[in-house]
Chains A and B, each alone.
Chain A
Amino acid sequence: MTDKMEQAATNRTYDAIVIGSGMTGGVAARELTEKGMQVLMLERGTALNHPGEYVGEHAPNWSIPFGGLADYQNNKNDYEVQSKSYAFDEATKPHWIKDSDEPYLQEEGTNFEWMRGARVGGRSLMWGRQTYRWGPHDFAANAEDGHGVDWPVRYDDLAPWYSHVEKYIGVSGQKEGLESFPDGEFQKPMEMYALEKRIKRRLARHASDITYTIGRSAVLTEPLEGRSPCHYCGACPRGCSTGSYFSTQSSTLPAAMKTGNLTLRPESAVQKILYDSATGKATGVQVKDMKTGTSFVYKARIIFLNASTIHSAQILLNSKSAAFPNGLANSSGVVGRYLMDHNEHSTNMGIFFDDIDRYFSGKRPNGCYIPRFRNLGGQDEDADFLRGYGIQCNVVRLDHRFTMHQKGIGADYKEALRKPGPWVFAMSAFGECLPYRENGITLDESKRDAFGMPLVKVRMEFGENEHKMRSDVTRQADRILKAAGAVAIIPDDGSEKPISAIHEMGTVRMGKDPRTSALNGWNQSHDTPNLFVTDGAAMTSSGNVNPSLTYMALTARAADHAAKLWKKGEL
């Protein structure tokens, strides 16, 4: 890999440059190189080699600094936002950017937590691995209720690409045969806890409109392309040397490297995409080397922008030229607008006295899922909101981390903490967020980050629809928890929380009309045909399932299209 890095050359024209090595950059690199294209992948983060460099993997509990307690002093200085992620700890810290190096601004009164990767692999290293297809209704939603522009694609366009990607990333799950929650190419599902099996049986009897299924997860239960099935050590974001969960490192990067057509250059921050008004095409990228601080240019015939939703918009807005004074690919003025994130405010919990004598071995890195059941096939009579939500469900056997808060000193206290507490069933809804023009990002030219980029200013707020949906989640969760047999219910407290589902999307949306969208149905810029944006930025609406698989399927489809045009000499 080092040899290849040295070869990254400014005096040649690559067939394609892929900006970013995360979830979608990896897929783009794999697809394009496998089609014979010479690809340069640029990543502003540092190298992280698989499988030997996951410093936190399998770290014994007693080796974790501070016993795993949050290092609040240093976090406040350097990781003020990143440290709020559920996947941030002392053993995953190297995977996250330092907020102190790359601050962002927020419109007053809004609170959006922007989580970012600092390594090759981006957030594919720390993602939650939940992997779901959108349903046909998701792609039709904008056209039906008039919020946002219509998608230029439908489920049938994407279905073969979902299959294509699922086969190589590896997804375990259970087929359910629901039209609104399409099945995929699954490895065998993970096992349920005894309590989950009990809840499933009770819901089938007492809430039969609810489907309760094991999480569909990009964690292997069978071998795949030299990767091993999960060994259930439990803390995936620390890294996985057996490649058991999908990441760029475990899957797409080795495949792309195997072709011999990929050059990867880490610590290379793309600042601008360059444009030639004579040809009407993008010609390359301006890069800042993060080690030396020098800037230079790489050239390519095709550019894939996969820098992650907000960074992709940032790069486009920063790529100003006489032809595009408001940023490249932005004749419509929509770049930076219509930012969305999932409506994930609400957690409802139930305490169970069932299966107190049942326990588990192995840490299953996956929960269960209740797919969307509201407003399917038309608006529900009792629903005062549009669209819907799915619910991620986790059963947790409480241990000393929870029970230490009880009063008591001495032998009895110690004994109480030693043994498992009751089972808790936690339901976290992820709801669709409508595309609002006023949600988005702008650049503050007067302030620069360590990468030399103008600072991003974010404005992200939920609207009335999201708030009404949240109330509905709590009502429905109460019904579901009662049907499931909870002895006590702890409802969502309704308090204001930051927007932090880490599913941010939109800002460079696809659409049919170049006046109201930036990308066509192939994720191709309406304005600049050799520019493709295939990460979360391209999303026209947000759906409610975890979005990564859809980004990856769109990427594979766009790469196939780009390669065909390239072969014909059209780009």
Chain B
Amino acid sequence: MVVEKMAFIQGATGMSFPRRDFLLATATATGGAILYSKGLAAMLADSEHSGHDLPMVDRVAYIDQPVDAFSTEKRELVSAMAETLLPRTDTPGAIDAKVPKFLELLYDQWMAEPEKQLFDQGLMEADKQAQAMHRATYTGCSAEDQKAVLERMEADQSDHAWFNFGGTSVADNQNDIPFMALFKEITVVGFFMSEVGAQQVLRYDMMPGTFDGDIGLGYDESSWASVPFM
């Protein structure tokens, strides 16, 4: 049933999907858990008259928008670094999840000037370290050597509260963050919040229908994709 639901959600995302069909599909996917509700029936009736689509269903993925903030070389370097941090294993990696484009969008839309500078300096530093350690540009290094570069950079920068247990967010801490904190946080967020990361690396269930606080967790099972604590 979980697989069925995920397929449905993928199908529904990024295209206009009539509200009524969405609700029926959801009710089916949740095993009818909310089918009996009068509220749902009222919504279905209402939706036929109002012509409103469910807003979420019309939403496109954040990364499905054009951006042109990086040069080709910069794009390659950012892609390589993101993939070093979160490589493809038996599950998809950063490039599979289009994290490089997420980072380019953040650079374009989200970062203030000081964070942009920090980001750019970090990229230069990666190339410099690659030259010093391996006599090659970062993108010219082997995957193993690239990992060594980022490990060196992290070792140099990790004497900062971001690296404490639980940490704080870079968004609360601008002006006082090392590059590796910025890079790790935005790469991790972009990865696990992505369609691929949420569904193929983590587990994603938009409409659980019920709560069960005592189910088994196998050794190799992933977390749920996150929802903010509200």
Contacts and interface: CB of A to CB of B under 8 A. Distances in A.
B63 interface: yes
A410 B84 contact: yes
A231 B207 contact: yes
Contact of B216 (A62, A67, A236, A358): A358
Nearest to B23: A241
A80 B227 CA distance: 23
Interface of B: 9, 13, 19, 30, 33-34, 36-40, 42-43, 46-47, 50, 52, 54-56, 59-63, 84-87, 89, 91, 93, 102, 106, 109-110, 112, 147, 150-151, 154, 158, 162-167, 169-172, 174, 184-186, 188-190, 192-195, 198, 201-202, 204-217, 220-230
Nearest to B181: A405
A227 B39 contact: yes
Contact of A233 (B194, B207, B225): B207
A70 B169 contact: yes
Given A62-B195, A69-B169, A235-B227, A358 B214 contact: yes
Nearest to A84: B172
A359 interface: yes
Contacts, number: 259
B204 A61 contact: yes
B230 A402 contact: no
A401 interface: yes
A445 to B, nearest CB: 36
Contacts of A72: 112, 171-172, 174
A141 B230 CA distance: 32
A71 B111 CA distance: 9
19 contacts: A55-B56, A58-B56, A58-B207, A59-B55, A63-B62, A69-B106, A69-B171, A71-B171, A73-B110, A227-B39, A228-B38, A231-B34, A233-B208, A241-B43, A242-B34, A402-B166, A407-B154, A410-B85, A418-B222
B195 A223 contact: no
A73 B112 CA distance: 7
A57 interface: yes
| Central interface residue in B60, B171, B207, by most chain A CB within 10 Å | B171
B39 A67 contact: no
Contacts of A358: 213-217
A418 B87 CA distance: 13
Contact of A60 (B13, B208, B217): B13
A232 B89 contact: no
A226 B106 CA distance: 42
Contact of A360 (B184, B190, B215): B215
Nearest to B190: A67
B163 A409 contact: no
B230 A236 contact: yes
B198 A63 contact: no
A133 to B, nearest CB: 24
